[in-house]
C-alpha cells in the first residue's frame, strides 16, 4: 500500500484501466489523480463516490451511421503520407488458446465486439477534392471475417495468416479479421485489424472483452464515449483553446535524413532491419520503480533519456535528433470525457529535444529529458492536435515526416501474463506479412519500442532505408542497453533532487534551483520531501507584503466567530482542531511560507508545504464573550513574519460552555470571499470527512 503506482508496474495505460474500473463501481478517480498520488494508499484521498454517477456526456447519444466525419490527427498524418490507403497497415496478435473454442462461439463473440465498438465498422472514402473521410457502417457482418483452418503442419499457418491480413480493406469492408488455427490438436487464434481503426490500448480492451465472451462471462455496460464524438470534441476544444500562433510553429529541429543515406520518401519500399535486447527482471524492476524516486521521473522518461544519451556518445559529430515520443493520446482535457475503453486510433506524438548544454552526463540528460517532456500539456496531446487545426497546418506538419527517431513505450500486457488467462502470446511467424506492407507510410527511420514481458523490458530498434553508418547503429543499440543498465547504480539510493519542471514558475536555471534546495531550505528548516510547490507571489500579494514591510500590522486579518453546536450536543475542541487541520490540508495557501531572497527571484516566493502542523492554541476563559483584542492578548502572531505559516487559530471555551474561535491570518493569502469558503469547509470538516480537493 505504501509503494508507488509506477513501482508496482503501473503506467499511463493501466492508470486509465484503473480509472475505468473505479467508474464501473461508481468511484470517481481520474488518471490525473492516479499520477498525482505518491502511494497506492494515497489514492484513497483522491477517490470520491457518487451514488448518482451519470454516464459521461454524449454517451447515450445515438451515433449516426453512414454519416461522413473527419479524421483524427494521427489518421490524418498517416493518410497524408500514404494517400492511396491501399498498403497493408495493421496491428495483429497471435495467441495460444488454453481452452478449446468453437468457430461458432468465436464468430458470435466477434459479432458482439463489432456491434459494440463502432470503429470496427468504419469505412474510409475520399470526398470531393481528394480528402479522406470516414463513416460508421451499420453492417456489422460485412465488417469482419473469421475463418477456421485445420492444418497438419505449422508451416501452413504462415499462409493462412498472410491471407487473413491481406483481406483488410478500409474502403469496401473488412477492417478486422481472425483465423482460428487447429494444428496438431492445439488451437491458436490470430487477429488483425487495420491500424486506422485501432491502437494498442484498444487491443487491451478487445482482448479482455473477447476472453469474457468466450468464457461466458457478461460484459460490463459500455461506458466510454464514441470515437466519432471524441474526435469532434477534440477538434472543437483545439479550435477554442489553441494559441493561433502555435498552430504552425515547429518546435522540432529538421531531420538529417541524408546523414543516414536515406531519402525523404515516406514509402521507401525497403525491408526493415531489427535490433533487439532484453533487460533482466532486476534492472527492469529498478527502472519501473526506485530509479524514479531520485528525480521524480516516470519510467518512459528514463528510457528515452538513455536513448538520447547513447546517441550522443556514438554520434559525436552531430546533435541528437528530436525523438518523437508516441503516447496513447487519450489524456482528457475534461475529466467528464471517458475514452478509456473506446476503440480507435488515438495516438499522439511530440518531439523531445535536449540542448547541448544539458548533455554533460547521464544525470543531466535525464533531468533535461524530464523537463522537456513535462513542458507539453496533456502528455503532448494538445501539441499534436494543434498541428492539425487546419489543412495548411496539417500539410506543414506532415512534410516533416519521416523524422529520424520515434519512441513508443507500450508498458505491459498484464492480462496475457495471468496464469488463468485464456490467451498466451505466441511469436508471429516470419513471412506472414503482405507484400504491400512495404508500401505503408513510415513515420521515422528508426522506430524504438519497449514492452514489458514477464517482468523484463524487451527493447526493439527497427530501421529501414538506412544506407550509411550501419555499424554505428549497432554500436548505438549496445550503448543504449548499457545506459539503461547503468541507471540503477546511478539513481537508486540518491537523495531526492528536483528538476526545473517540478517548479516551472519559480526557477530558470539549475544553479538557482540547486541553491534553493541546498541552502534556502536548510535556513528554513524544511526538508525537500516536505515541499509541494514553489512559485512567485502575484503583484497584488507583493503590494500587500510591501505595505507590511513598513507596518507589520498592515493587512492582517483577525476575525472572531462562535462555534454553535447542533441541538442537544456540545462543541468538542479536540474535534475542532482536527477539522482545522483538514481545512489546512485542503487549501494550499494555508500551507504556504512566504520566503524572501530565493535564488533567482527578485520578489517574495511562495513555498507550499505538503502537510505542516498548523499553529493552534486552545484555552479556557471565565469571560462570557471574547473579542479579537482578548484573543490577541493571549497570542502574538510574530511567527507569521519569521517564515512560518501565515495564520493562527485560537479556540476558547468559556465558562458557560460556549466556544469562540479567532483566526488571525495574513491578508496576502486570504481575501473576503476566501474567508467564507474557509468557514464553510471548517463546518463541513467538523461534521464529516472533508474532500482534500
- Report yes or no on 281 lying in a domain: yes
Whether a cis peptide bond, with omega within 30° of 0, leads into 402 is yes
- Report yes or no on 301 lying in a domain: yes
How many structural domains are present in the chain?
A: 4
Q: How confident is the model at residue 648 (pLDDT cuts 50, 70, 90)?
A: very high
- Report yes or no on 244 lying in a domain: no
- Report yes or no on 229 lying in a domain: no
pLDDT for 129 beyond 90:
no
- Residue 692 CA to residue 447 CA, distance in Å, equals 43
pLDDT for 24 beyond 60:
no
pLDDT for 286 beyond 80:
yes
Asked if residue 173 and residue 318 are part of one domain, the reply reads no
Domain of residue 577, CATH code: 3.30.559.10
Asked if residue 597 and residue 518 are part of one domain, the reply reads yes
Asked if residue 509 and residue 474 are part of one domain, the reply reads no
- 491, 523, 553 - which closes a domain: 491
Neighbours of 43 (CB within 10 A): 18
- Residue 301 CA to residue 282 CA, distance in Å, equals 18
pLDDT computed for residue 48 by the predictor: 58
- Report yes or no on 256 lying in a domain: no
Q: Which of 265-274, 384-393, 636-645, 666-675 has the lowest mean pLDDT?
A: 636-645
Asked if residue 315 and residue 188 are part of one domain, the reply reads no
The reported pTM is 0.86
pLDDT computed for residue 246 by the predictor: 44
- Report yes or no on 202 lying in a domain: yes
Q: Which of 152-156, 451-455, 593-597 has the lowest mean pLDDT?
A: 152-156
Asked if residue 463 and residue 319 are part of one domain, the reply reads yes
- 491, 522, 548 - which closes a domain: 491
pLDDT for 25 beyond 80:
no
Locate 166 and state its grid cell.
491481406
Asked if residue 280 and residue 199 are part of one domain, the reply reads no
Predicted confidence (pLDDT) per residue in 410-420, tens digit: 999 888 888 88
Asked if residue 206 and residue 266 are part of one domain, the reply reads no
| Longest pairwise C-alpha distance within the chain | 98
Query: How far is C-alpha 519 from the geometric centre of its chain's CA atoms?
Result: 33
pLDDT computed for residue 272 by the predictor: 86
- Report yes or no on 498 lying in a domain: no
pLDDT computed for residue 47 by the predictor: 57
- 431, 457, 491 - which closes a domain: 491
Q: How confident is the model at residue 252 (pLDDT cuts 50, 70, 90)?
A: confident
Asked if residue 486 and residue 508 are part of one domain, the reply reads no
pLDDT for 536 beyond 50:
yes
Neighbours of 64 (CB within 10 A): 13
Asked if residue 511 and residue 486 are part of one domain, the reply reads no
3-class secondary structure per residue, 241-295: HCCHHHHCCCCCCCCCHHHHCCCCCCCCCCCEEEEEEECCHHHHHHHHCHHHCCC
Task: State residue 518 phi and psi, 5-degree precision.
Answer: -85, -35
pLDDT for 582 beyond 90:
yes
Q: How confident is the model at residue 516 (pLDDT cuts 50, 70, 90)?
A: very high
pLDDT computed for residue 600 by the predictor: 93
The pLDDT of 144-172, averaged and rounded, is 89
Q: Specify whether the CB–CB gap between 473 and 466 falls below 8 A.
A: yes
Asked if residue 512 and residue 487 are part of one domain, the reply reads no
Give the chain's radius of gyration (CA, Å).
Answer: 29
Asked if residue 507 and residue 484 are part of one domain, the reply reads no
pLDDT for 6 beyond 60:
no
pLDDT for 182 beyond 50:
yes
| Residue among 648, 653, 644, 576 at smallest CA distance from 607 | 644
Asked if residue 563 and residue 508 are part of one domain, the reply reads yes
pLDDT for 219 beyond 90:
yes
Predicted confidence (pLDDT) per residue in 589-644, tens digit: 999 999 999 999 999 999 999 999 999 999 888 777 777 778 877 765 544 545 68
Average pLDDT of the chain?
88
Residue with the larger pLDDT of the pair 374 and 269: 374
Predicted confidence (pLDDT) per residue in 51-94, tens digit: 434 344 444 456 788 899 999 999 999 999 999 999 999 999 99
pLDDT computed for residue 481 by the predictor: 98
Query: How far is C-alpha 137 from the geometric centre of its chain's CA atoms?
Result: 32
Task: State residue 540 phi and psi, 5-degree precision.
Answer: -60, -45
DSSP-derived 3-state class of residue 669: coil
Find the domain containing 195 and state its range.
73-214
CB proximity list for 642: less than 8 A, separation 6 or greater = none
Residue with the larger pLDDT of the pair 624 and 275: 275
Domain of residue 360, CATH code: 3.30.559.30
- Report yes or no on 248 lying in a domain: no
- Residue 497 CA to residue 327 CA, distance in Å, equals 26
The pLDDT of 632-660, averaged and rounded, is 76
- Residue 261's region, left for phi above 0, alpha for psi from -120 to 50, else beta, is left
pLDDT computed for residue 419 by the predictor: 85
Amino acid at each position: 500500500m505504501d509503494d508507488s503506482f509506477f513501482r508496482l508496474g503501473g503506467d499511463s495505460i493501466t492508470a486509465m484501466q484503473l480509472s475505468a474500473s473505479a467508474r464501473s463501481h461508481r468511484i470517481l478517480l481520474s488518471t490525473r489523480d492516479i499520477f498525482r498520488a505518491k502511494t497506492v494508499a494515497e489514492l484513497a484521498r483522491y477517490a470520491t463516490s457518487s451514488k448518482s454517477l451519470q454516464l459521461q456526456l454524449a454517451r447515450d447519444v445515438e451515433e449516426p451511421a453512414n454519416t461522413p466525419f473527419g479524421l483524427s490527427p494521427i489518421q490524418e498524418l498517416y493518410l497524408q503520407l500514404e494517400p492511396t490507403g491501399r498498403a497493408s497497415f495493421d496491428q495483429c496478435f497471435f495467441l495460444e488458446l488454453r481452452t478449446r473454442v468453437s468457430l461458432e462461439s468465436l464468430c458470435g463473440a466477434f459479432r458482439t465486439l463489432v456491434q459494440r465498438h463502432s470503429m470496427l465498422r468504419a469505412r474510409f472514402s475520399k470526398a470531393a477534392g481528394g480528402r479522406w473521410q470516414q463513416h460508421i457502417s451499420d453492417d456489422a457482418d460485412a465488417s469482419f471475417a473469421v475463418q477456421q483452418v485445420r492444418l497438419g503442419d505449422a508451416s501452413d499457418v504462415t499462409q493462412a495468416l498472410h491471407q487473413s491480413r491481406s483481406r483488410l480493406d478500409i474502403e469496401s469492408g473488412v477492417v478486422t479479421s481472425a483465423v482460428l488455427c487447429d494444428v496438431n490438436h492445439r488451437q491458436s487464434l490470430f487477429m488483425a485489424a487495420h491500424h486506422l481503426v485501432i491502437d494498442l490500448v484498444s487491443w487491451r480492451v478487445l482482448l479482455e472483452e473477447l476472453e469474457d465472451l468466450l468464457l461466458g462471462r457478461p460484459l460490463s455496460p459500455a461506458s466510454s464515449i464514441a470515437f466519432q464524438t471524441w474526435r469532434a470534441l477534440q477538434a472543437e476544444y483545439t479550435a477554442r483553446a489553441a494559441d493561433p500562433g502555435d498552430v504552425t510553429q515547429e518546435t522540432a529541429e529538421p531531420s538529417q535524413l541524408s546523414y543516414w543515406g536515406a531519402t525523404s520518401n515516406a514509402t521507401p519500399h525497403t525491408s526493415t532491419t531489427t535490433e533487439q535486447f532484453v533487460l533482466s527482471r532486476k534492472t527492469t524492476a529498478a527502472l519501473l520503480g526506485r530509479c524514479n524516486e531520485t528525480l521524480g521521473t516516470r519510467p518512459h522518461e528514463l528510457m528515452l533519456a538513455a536513448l538520447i544519451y547513447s546517441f550522443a556518445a556514438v554520434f559525436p559529430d552531430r546533435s541528437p535528433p528530436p525523438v518523437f515520443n508516441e503516447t496513447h493520446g487519450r489524456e482528457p482535457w475534461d475529466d467528464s470525457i471517458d475514452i478509456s475503453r473506446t476503440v480507435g486510433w488515438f495516438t499522439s506524438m511530440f518531439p523531445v529535444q535536449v540542448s547541448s548544454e544539458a548533455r554533460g552526463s547521464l544525470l543531466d540528460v535525464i533531468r533535461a529529458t524530464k523537463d522537456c517532456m513535462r513542458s507539453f500539456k496533456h502528455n503532448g496531446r494538445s501539441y499534436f492536435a494543434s498541428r492539425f487545426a487546419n489543412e495548411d497546418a496539417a500539410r506543414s506538419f506532415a512534410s516533416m515526416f519521416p523524422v529520424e527517431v520515434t519512441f513508443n513505450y507500450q508498458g505491459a500486457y498484464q492480462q496475457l501474463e495471468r496464469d488463468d488467462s485464456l490467451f498466451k502470446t505466441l511469436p508471429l511467424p516470419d513471412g506472414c506479412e503482405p507484400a504491400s506492407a512495404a508500401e505503408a507510410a513510415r513515420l521515422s527511420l528508426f522506430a524504438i519500442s519497449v514492452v514489458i514481458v514477464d517482468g523484463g523490458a524487451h527493447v526493439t530498434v527497427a530501421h529501414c532505408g538506412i544506407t550509411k553508418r550501419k555499424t554505428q547503429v549497432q554500436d548505438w543499440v549496445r550503448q543504449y542497453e548499457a545506459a539503461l543498465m547503468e541507471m540503477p547504480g546511478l539513481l537508486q539510493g540518491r537523495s531526492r533532487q528536483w528538476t526545473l519542471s517540478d517548479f516551472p514558475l519559480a526557477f530558470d536555471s539549475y544553479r538557482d534551483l540547486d541553491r534553493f534546495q541546498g541552502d534556502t531550505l536548510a535556513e528554513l528548516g524544511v526538508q525537500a520531501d516536505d515541499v509541494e510547490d514553489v512559485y512567485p507571489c502575484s503583484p497584488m500579494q507583493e503590494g500587500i507584503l510591501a505595505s507590511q514591510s513598513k507596518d507589520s500590522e498592515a493587512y492582517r486579518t483577525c476575525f472572531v466567530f462562535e462555534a454553535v453546536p447542533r441541538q442537544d450536543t456540545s462543541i468538542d475542541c479536540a474535534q475542532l482542531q482536527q477539522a482545522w487541520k483538514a481545512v489546512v490540508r485542503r487549501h494550499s495557501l494555508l500551507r504556504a511560507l512566504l520566503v524572501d531572497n530565493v535564488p533567482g527571484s527578485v520578489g517574495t516566493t511562495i513555498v507550499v508545504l505538503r502537510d505542516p502542523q498548523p499553529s493552534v492554541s486552545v484555552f479556557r476563559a471565565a469571560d462570557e464573550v471574547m473579542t479579537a483584542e482578548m484573543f490577541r492578548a493571549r497570542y502574538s502572531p510574530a511567527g507569521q513574519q519569521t517564515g512560518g505559516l501565515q495564520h493562527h487559530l485560537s479556540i476558547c471555551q468559556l465558562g458557560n460552555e460556549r466556544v469562540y474561535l479567532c483566526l488571525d491570518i495574513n491578508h496576502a493569502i486570504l481575501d473576503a470571499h476566501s474567508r467564507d469558503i474557509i468557514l464553510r469547509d471548517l463546518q463541513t470538516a467538523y461534521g464529516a470527512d472533508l474532500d482534500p480537493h
